[in-house]
Amino acid sequence: MTKWFTIRVPKEVKDLLDQLQNYADLQGLPYWRIVSRALTYLKNMHQGGRKKSEIPRLDKAAWYSLKLGIAVGALKAQPDQEKLERLKEVAFQLRDRLGIDVDLLIKAAKDYVDQPTTQRTIELSDVAKMIIGDIIVKFLFQ
C-alpha cells in the first residue's frame, strides 16, 4: 500500500498551487508526478555546471562526434572558406584536446572546397567517419 505525505505550503504561494492544479489537470497527471518532473528538470538544468571530469565518457564522445558531424555537414551544404575555417577550428580542438591526428581531415576538406565533386564528398565523409571512430576509441576504450 502506498503511504502519502503532505507538504505544507504558505498561503502566499497559493498562485503556485493553482498553477500546479491547472497543469496537472491539463496533462491528466497527479500532482506528485508534476512535482517529480519539475524536480528532474531542475536537476538536469543544474548539471550544466558540472566539472568536465564529472561528465560521462560516452557523453564526451557523443559531443565531439556531433560537433565534427555538424561542421562537416555545414561544409558539404555550403563549401566555402567560412565553413572550412569552422571545420578547421573543430579539427584543431580534436587535435589539441584529444590528441587525434586531423591532417587527413583538413586535407580532404580543403580538396572538397576546391572542387566539390561526388568523389571528394565520399572522401570527406570517409575521413570524418574515421575521425569519429578515433573519438569513440579515445573515450570508450582508453
Is 128:68 a contact under the CB 8 Å cutoff? yes
Question: How would residue 141 be classed by pLDDT, with cut points 50, 70 and 90?
Answer: confident
- pTM, rounded to two decimals: 0.64
Where b means 16+ CB within 10 Å and e means fewer, 62-72 reads: eebbeebeebb
Q: State pLDDT tens for residues 35-81.
A: 888 888 777 766 665 566 667 888 889 999 999 999 999 999 999 99
Tally Cβ neighbours within 10 Å of residue 109.
Answer: 27
Query: Can you tell me the distance from the alpha carbon of 54 to that of 58, in angstroms, rounded to the nearest whole number?
Result: 12
Query: Which pLDDT does position 71 carry in this prediction?
Result: 97
Give kind and range of the element (H or E) at residue 83.
helix 81-93
Query: Can you tell me the distance from the alpha carbon of 28 to that of 72, in angstroms, rounded to the nearest whole number?
Result: 44
Give kind and range of the element (H or E) at residue 65.
helix 57-77
